[in-house]
Structure 1
Amino acid sequence: MMTGMNTDTCDPAEAAALREILASRPGAVPPAGWEAVRSFEARHGIVLPEPYRTCVAEICDGLRAGPPYRGLLPLAETPSDWSPYFAERLLAEPFPLAEAWLWEEEEEAGLTQELQARQDSVFEHGSLLLGTDGCGMYWALIVTGPQRGHVWMIDENGAIPFGTSLMPGTPGFTGWVSHWAEGRSWFGDV
């Protein structure tokens, strides 16, 4: 399990890094403000993890040109290719994973109701969608549960946390944004 991140207080160095990367880019969406952030949190029964929370309130609430490939979504938006099957987002329900899960191998043995329910919870529980790289590859910020503050890639084959051996980088929202800004591959040197 990944640990070591402070998701309750925004580190000024992380805020400065996010401001430098995001605020000056073309297509940056103006910040939502604290009132909008607190209203969103109250509606969903959560507190967004830092530094994402401060970023949305004070720096920028989305970026048309990434990260990821198709842009950083404004708070509470879903990508245009998001399946209506996963329409209900239950942010207050804990994200169900603590490590990568590649379910495509399990599906080959037959998709059971239990496996389908567990997959659905990965898509629906405890995460806020950050954006998509297309082809059903979504980036999510975990907002509840032990993985709170981590960014995960979720697609039709499985779910992988950013900042691990499967997807090297510095864990957390700032690490994910910085990784993108440096033009590095999500999957290491592939």
Structure 2
Amino acid sequence: MSLTAGLEALRTAFPAEWREPALGVGGVAAWESENSARLPEPYRTFIAEVSNGSSLGPPEDGGLLPLGWLPPGWPARGDRIPGAVFPLDHAWHWEDDSDSTPDFNQRIADVYNHGSIVLGTDDELSYWLLVLTGSQRGKIWFVADVGASPYPGPEAISFLEWVQRWQTGVGWWD
């Protein structure tokens, strides 16, 4: 799908009355410079030209967060570094991992904080991330207190596909 068609689909998904003001090209460029990260398309153009967040989902609990915002209840696991490399390329369920090395907790913190932006939460225990760096750039990941996985798994989908899936109303895991 072309960028123009993708943006039109996103405009349709987020009615004007639910949109937050767009950041503009300058606002996006400033955020990218400050965070040493480049946002993937079509999300980048969406927040620059259409809407920087929306109280109407996805996700349904609180809607789509503005760029750089964190939802209430976000686990404080160190500093967010959107420009750092996202550390995963496949699912990792740390709850089932018997790793006891000293860097285990740091690896979890890196999943939460490196190479992504937070799109929203479903229940303040699980979060939707858009990956900005590494092999999963432009893909949606689901991170919870028990682990992280590409959504819907085992391969992750794009921001546009994620919004379209929400728009169907079928449910995230159906």
- TM-score, scaled to structure 2: 0.92
User: Over aligned residue pairs, what C-alpha RMSD do you find?
Assistant: 1.9
Any stretches of 5+ residues in structure 1 without a counterpart?
1-5
SS in 2 for 1:129: strand
Question: Contact conserved, 1:76 with 1:128, CA < 8 A, in 2?
Answer: yes
Contact 1:163 1:172 in 2 (8 A): no
Q: Does 1:13 pair with 2:5?
A: yes
SS of equivalent to 2:128: strand
Q: Which residue type is aligned with residue 120 of structure 2?
A: G
Kept after mapping to 1: 8 A contact 2:22/2:49: yes
| Alpha-carbon distance in 1 for matches of 2:152, 2:3 | 19
Aligned residues: 173
Counterpart-to-counterpart distance in 2, 1:65 and 1:95: 28
Q: Residue 50 of structure 2 is aligned with which of 41, 59, 70?
A: 59
Q: Report the Cα offset of residue 163 of structure 1.
A: 4.0
| Aligned residue type for 1:181 | Q
Are 1:95 and 1:142, in contact at CA under 8 Å, matched by a contact in 2? yes
**Identity of counterpart residues, as a percentage?**
37
Indicate the residue corresponding to 1:123 in structure 2: 112
CA–CA separation in structure 2 for the residues paired with 1:186 and 1:118 = 27
CA distance in 1, matches of 2:6, 2:135: 21
Q: CA deviation at 1:184?
A: 2.2
Query: 1:59-92 deviations in whole A, cap 9, x for unaligned?
Result: 1111112111221000111111112x23511111
Equivalent residues in 2 for 1:85-164 (5 A)? 85-106=76-97, 109=98, 111-164=100-153
Following TM superposition, by how much is the alpha carbon of 1:31 offset from its aligned partner in structure 2, in angstroms?
1.0
CA contact (8 A) 1:26 1:65 kept: no
8 A Cα contact 2:53 2:66, kept in partner: yes
TM-score (norm 1): 0.84
Change (3 A) 1:143 1:65: same
Structure 1 runs, 4 residues or longer, greater than 2 Å off: 109-114, 163-166
Distance verdict in 2 for CA 1:110–1:47, change over 3 Å: closer
| Equivalent residues of 2:78, 2:109 under 8 A apart | no
